[in-house]
Amino acid sequence: MSRSLRVAFAGTPEFAAGHLNALLGSRHEVVLVLTQPDRPSGRGRQLTPSPVKSLALEHDLPLHQPERLKSEAERAPLIEANIDLLVVVAYGLILPRAVLDIPKLGAVNVHASLLPRWRGAAPIQRAIEARDERSGVTLMAMDEGLDTGDMLLVRETPLDEHTTAAALHDRLAELGCELLVEGLDRLADGNLVATPQPSEGVTYAAKISKAEAELDFSLPAEVLAARVRAFNPVPVAWTRLGEERLRIWEAVAEPRTATDSATAPGTLLAGPTDAMRIACGHGVLRVRIAQLPGGKPMPIEQLMHNRRHLHGAGMRLGSTS
């Protein structure tokens, strides 16, 4: 008969909630859920539970929401749960050795990258921004380092010039759920082998700042198109269009034509009246979906039809205007 593990789950955002839901459908028993304390959210700044907390409440699972896990009192629920394994998915807290030593079989983490590439906070966005040809998820045995533990299982998925962070997030969430359940089944059955991460190819995925989302048109169009995809849906790439902020949700890179070649970066280029083509340091950024303040994201043809006074060939966008 297949063995069932007693599991505590630690996670916070929607990505983590999907993995908790997958565990609830597996043969393993979730006996405790850890998640970040409720945080202010929305215009009213009301305290809002995390997606993981909401799911745990739906299933009447025991909850623990410590600010940290440094004291014995904060760790007590984990000790009392008598767990075989701690599963960590986008929890948001660094776990000290004293926590990792509590479960009989240690702790595992689902990380949204092909380790050792993109250790850290924003692996999905950084993989797209760097124009990687592939991404994936890694089930890792946790140690005290930043995503440095031994690898247990890996799943890959290809990336292309159309992949946004939103699309990759959903794809990796699906792969991660499959990977997690398979990993726990094999761990329970004693046939899961750990492999140390390679010492070469290590990169770090720094947290995305809002300042990064303002496009600098002196950069090549290919770089900017990748940033547009990487920052969709958060924080969303943007530029200045006159006195307004234009958020760019979808754009592609194109080569410059002979007539475009001498135009300064940030300049709107001549072309079809329903197209927005912006000169870059190298190449042209063609905007496909954009949003003006107070409006919704819409195809650029529709936006330009509604706001013709805001644009025209030769107009400058961005901080250079």
Annotated binding site: 113-116
The percent helix, strand, coil of the chain (3-state, each to 5) is 30, 25, 45
197-223: b (≥16 Cβ within 10 Å) or e:
beeeeebebeebeeebbebbbebbbbb
Paired tokens of 318: 């961005």
Residue 6 CB-density burial (10 A; 0-12 exposed, 13-18 middle, 19+ buried): middle
> Helices in the chain by DSSP H: which ranges?
14-24, 51-58, 72-80, 97-100, 123-129, 165-189, 221-230, 300-306
Estimate the crossing angle of helix 14-24 against helix 51-58, to 10 degrees.
Answer: 30
Known binding-site residue numbers for (6S)-5,6,7,8-tetrahydrofolate: 113-116
263-279: b (≥16 Cβ within 10 Å) or e:
bebbbbbeeeeeebbbb
- CA–CA separation, 215 and 218 (whole Å): 9
- CA–CA separation, 185 and 175 (whole Å): 16
Q: Which residue has the tokens 């300049």?
A: 267
Residue 71 CB-density burial (10 A; 0-12 exposed, 13-18 middle, 19+ buried): exposed
* Other beta carbons within 10 Å of 176: 25
